[in-house]
Amino acid sequence: MDYKITVIPGDGIGPEIIRETRKVLDALGARYGHNFSYTEVLMGGVSIDAHGVPLTDEALSTAKDSDAVLLGAVGGNVGTSNWYSLPPNLRPEAGLLKIRKGLNLFANIRPAVLFEELKGACPLKDEIIGDGFDFVVMRELTGGLYFGDRWTKEVDGLRTAKDTLLYNEEEIVRIARQAFEIARKRRKKVCSVDKANVLDSSRLWRQVTEEVAKDYPDVELSHMLVDNCAMQIVRDPSQFDVILTENMFGDILSDEASMVTGSIGMLASASLGKTKLGLYEPSHGSAPDIAGQNKANPIATILSSAMMLRYSFDLDMEANVLESAIKEVLKKGYRTIDIMSPGKTLVGTDKMGDLIVAEI
Ligand code: NAD
């Protein structure tokens, strides 16, 4: 099969980690008879330098016309780069907002996987880690408190501020469906997280999620209050498969979930909409402090490409092969500097890519 991928290397370490990811995808394509064709577009600081804006309309329409978008990272050193003297809508990160909006992406998925070989980086105790854990947080991206009406004004002589948390049933249905679909490709469990003991929006969330669940009898649905969920992630993370939640709860829980896995260089992410076209990128930024030094860990981006294979292309077997190849390289003791520990073999960005290709 042929797959059209829009590739956005971006700034900082972006080009290095994307180069390694393409190398790995090509190796998988050659082995399993798929043709991945890439169209590179500019976004972030490099686009500002070339075109004066962080993402051109042409670049966005290239992305819209593809089967998936693979992104490195955008942004520079916030303290020293000229990009940050521009108005906010022209800064590198504005490109991210524009592409997410332009592609109608409303669900963000961040996996929290503890790799056996990197247990040392996990801040949890051994008895809690047990045999490890592997869950994803699916966060609603375009509604809720961050997008509701808000104001700050003086009321009865007191400075007062108000934010609004609003969801309609359509917004809940579409993300709930995504969560159940993703669960079907995993261990078939969805835990919907809300604050239904207090919030009306949460009570609607719970009700609508129950209704959607009727179409997925093979997937087990449970509900959990957000405060309890925050505790359970550090008490017994292995109980979770897919955590489904609204924007602000997801913002907080997904950061907590990434923290319990250890290294930032290992954290993948995907943003999905109603169609198969998704945006795949590492959770980390452009790491300007190590850019161009062959030090960046490419694994977060390579793991994001495994999500692309699974969710945009339905190539589940190939995604599994890729994830196993990464585990094998780690098992053999190879590490980039961010995950290095005594007794292991330190390798650079390019060598890590080569080692994963060799396992494939
Ligand atoms: P960062 O994630 O880029 O870096 C934080 C620290 O982690 C740095 O020490 C860096 O060297 C290290 N690090 C990050 N990724 C790594 C990897 N793959 N391998 C090894 N080490 C890695 O966060 P920051 O320094 O706060 O931000 C730098 C720039 O990235 C800023 O301009 C910021 O706005 C931007 N940013 C972009 C995105 C994105 O493109 N989605 C996300 C976050 C931050």
Ligand 1 atom having least distance to the Cα of 78? 32
pLDDT at 345: 97
What is the pLDDT at residue 131? 84
Helix (H) or strand (E) holding 23: helix 14-32
CA of 18 to the centre of ligand 1 (A): 15
CATH superfamily of 123-261: Isopropylmalate Dehydrogenase (3.40.718.10)
Does the C-beta of 352 come closer than 6 Å to ligand 1? no
CA-nearest of 130, 131, 244, 134 to 186 is: 134
Residue ranges covered by each domain of the chain: 1-113+263-360, 123-261
**Active-site residues: which are they?**
146, 195, 227, 251, 255
Best substitution site from 266, 286, 294 to test ligand 1's pocket, by max atoms within 8 Å of Cβ?
286
Q: Distance (Å, rounded) from C-alpha 162 to C-alpha 181?
A: 36
Q: Report which protein residue has its CA nearest ligand 1's atom 11.
A: 287
- Each residue's pLDDT tens digit, 122-160: 889 988 988 889 999 999 999 999 888 999 999 999 999
What's the pLDDT at 7?
A: 98
Nearest residue by C-alpha to atom 12 in ligand 1: 287
Ligand 1 neighbour 76 (Cβ under 6 A): yes
Rounded CA separation 265/338 (Å): 7
* Ligand 1 site, residue 255, Cβ cutoff 6 A: no
Whether residue 347 has its Cβ less than 6 Å from ligand 1: no
Residue 199 near residue 168, CB atoms below 8 Å: no
- Regarding the beta carbon of 73 and ligand 1, being less than 6 Å apart is answered yes
User: Are the C-beta atoms of 248 and 146 separated by less than 8 Å?
Assistant: yes
Lookup: tokens for 87: 């108005």
Q: Which of 49, 51, 57, 59 is nearest to 83 (CA)?
A: 49
Cβ contact 7:42 at 8 Å: no
So what's the pLDDT on residue 351? 98
DSSP string, 33-78: T-EEEEEE---THHHHHHHSSSS-HHHHHHHHTSSEEEEEE----T
Distance CA 302, CA 356 (A): 9
Atom in ligand 1 nearest the alpha carbon of residue 288:
28
Q: What's residue 295's pLDDT? A: 97
Give CA 234 to chain center in angstroms. 20
Ligand 1 centroid – CA 190 distance (Å) = 30
Q: Is the CB of 198 under 6 A from ligand 1?
A: no
pLDDT in tens, the chain (360 residues): 899 999 999 999 999 999 999 999 999 999 999 999 999 999 999 999 999 999 999 999 999 999 999 999 999 998 889 999 999 889 999 999 899 989 999 999 999 998 888 888 788 998 898 888 999 999 999 999 988 899 999 999 999 999 999 999 999 999 999 999 999 999 999 999 999 999 999 999 999 999 999 999 999 999 999 999 999 999 999 999 999 999 999 999 998 988 888 778 899 999 999 899 999 999 999 999 999 999 999 999 999 999 999 999 999 999 999 999 999 999 999 999 999 989 999 999 999 999 999 999
> Residue 92 in contact with residue 238, Cβ under 8 Å?
no
- Cβ–Cβ < 8 Å for 299, 266: yes
Q: Is the dihedral of CA 274, 277, 283, 289 positive or negative?
A: negative
Distance from Cα 341 to the centre of ligand 1, integer Å: 21
Structure tokens at 166: 């609003």
Q: Is 268 in the pocket of ligand 1 (CB under 6 A)?
A: no
Q: How confident is the model at residue 301, as a pLDDT? A: 98
Q: pTM above 0.85?
A: yes
**What is the CA 122 to chain-centroid distance, rounded?**
19
Q: How many whole angstroms separate alpha carbon 283 and alpha carbon 277?
A: 19
Query: Which class would CATH give 1-113+263-360?
Result: alpha beta
Question: What distance in angstroms lies between residue 76's CA and the mean position of ligand 1's atoms?
Answer: 9
In the sheet that holds 220-225, the strands lie side by side as: 35-40, 2-10, 68-73, 278-282, 268-272, 107-113, 134-140, 242-245, 189-194, 220-225
Contact between 244 and 138 under an 8 Å Cβ cutoff? The reply is yes
